[in-house]
Structure 1
Amino acid sequence: MFASENDGCADRIDGIKSTLRVVPDFPKPGIMFLDITTLLLDPKAFKDTIDLFVERYKQKNISVVAGIEARGFMFGPAIALAIGAKFVPLRKPKKLPGEVISEKYVLEYGTDCLQMHVGAVEPGERALVVDDLVATGGTLCAAMNLLGTFLL
């Protein structure tokens, strides 16, 4: 997925997968929650995770790494620094001071909203969105809509 199997990529991915924990019925019955906090407890798996993203995106002219609250904040800043991009937090309502734009979205267990500072991204910039997983795709679509408001 990220590189050829000859460079140890598959081994690193297997190591990362082995640190993840599935929590059934969280935050509500029927949800199988993929917990990444166990990955963060393993420095090698955490570093391998960041390194794989950096290897994939360092030559892609990314100027913005947008991290979705809250798990995107755990990986996004490190990736942004390593590839020479700025980090833009996409936050839940009323967490960012100043002028923001908002985008509502549907979750598998309700609705929510993301906000971003006006002026955080400029037309022509190229963005990478970082979150922990894609479930329904609602959060990712909201992030893309927020970024697309300014990037187009």
Structure 2
Amino acid sequence: MPHASLDRALGLIREVADFPEPGVLFRDLSPLLADADAFRAVVDALGETLAPDVDTVLALEARGFLFGAALAATRGLGVVPVRKPGKLPAVADRVTFDLEYGTATFELPADTLRPGARVAVVDDVLATGGTLAAAVGLAERAGATVTGALVVVEITALDGRARVPLPVHAVHAV
């Protein structure tokens, strides 16, 4: 059973209908992020599921950066940001993937993810699984071992977990 402060934190997640396009119910974590106690409760909950041998957090643009960097800082780990195209001066690899409402591309920064690294992928929401699966592929092609994926919210009806070829830990499932 989640701690009362975690329950309060998860209660701050706002649902926004028809964003970014009609038919999509967007989970806005901005109110949670703006509340220091709520943010800390969620980062702590993510940390509880982190494999003990992880040395690097792969944080996904954009909200995954916030949770991933906070998790890495509190656990003494490195953090590698996976970016959208055109944001990095040096790119090691890129992948284009399907989203629930289109396609996207991720890029891995050069000289950041070493072969043999033990990686946890962190993002805010697991929907159809394309984002996590793409990030796992980038990490594995770089020679890293991905131990699991950590998300704040999992939208279970979209069955995104089925597309991710490793353990997925969600703080909250809807």
Same-fold call, TM cutoff 0.5? yes
Cα RMSD over matched residues?
A: 1.4
Q: Which residue of 1 aligns with 2:96?
A: 104
**Contact 2:5–2:37 (CA under 8 A) maintained in structure 1:** no
- TM-score normalised by the chain length of structure 1: 0.88
Q: Which runs of 4+ in 1 moved over 3 A?
A: none
Q: Which residue of 2 aligns with 1:36?
A: 29
CA distance in 1, matches of 2:41, 2:99: 29
Q: CA deviation at 1:141?
A: 0.6
Per-residue deviation, residues 28-59 of structure 1 (Å, max 9, x unmatched): 110000000010121111111111222332x6
What is the aligned counterpart of 1:121 among 113, 116, 122?
A: 113
Q: CA deviation at 1:82?
A: 1.4
Please say which of residues 110-119 and 26-35 is displaced more in the overlay.
Answer: 110-119
CA distance in 2, matches of 1:128, 1:50: 14
Q: CA deviation at 1:99?
A: 3.2
**Structure showing the higher strand proportion among its residues:** 2
Runs (5+) with no aligned partner, structure 2? 146-174
Q: Which residue of 2 aligns with 1:20?
A: 13
**Contact 2:96–2:104 (CA under 8 A) maintained in structure 1:** yes
CA distance in 2, matches of 1:62, 1:80: 10
CA distance in 1, matches of 2:90, 2:60: 18
CA distance in 2, matches of 1:39, 1:65: 21
Is 1:95 the counterpart of 2:75 in the alignment?
no
CA distance in 1, matches of 2:54, 2:124: 19
SS in 2 for 1:105: strand
Aligned residues: 144
**Identity between Structure 1 and Structure 2 (%):** 40
Residue type of the alignment partner of 2:9 = I
Q: CA deviation at 1:136?
A: 0.8
CA distance in 2, matches of 1:112, 1:99: 16
Larger Rg: 1
Q: CA deviation at 1:10?
A: 3.6
Residue type of the alignment partner of 2:44 = D
Per-residue deviation, residues 33-92 of structure 1 (Å, max 9, x unmatched): 0000010121111111111222332x6111110111000111111111111111100000
CA distance in 2, matches of 1:103, 1:114: 5
Q: Which residue of 2 aligns with 1:77?
A: 69
**Structure showing the higher helix proportion among its residues:** 1
CA distance in 2, matches of 1:127, 1:72: 14
Q: CA deviation at 1:12?
A: 3.2
CA distance in 1, matches of 2:126, 2:22: 19
Q: CA deviation at 1:121?
A: 1.3
- TM-score normalised by the chain length of structure 2: 0.78
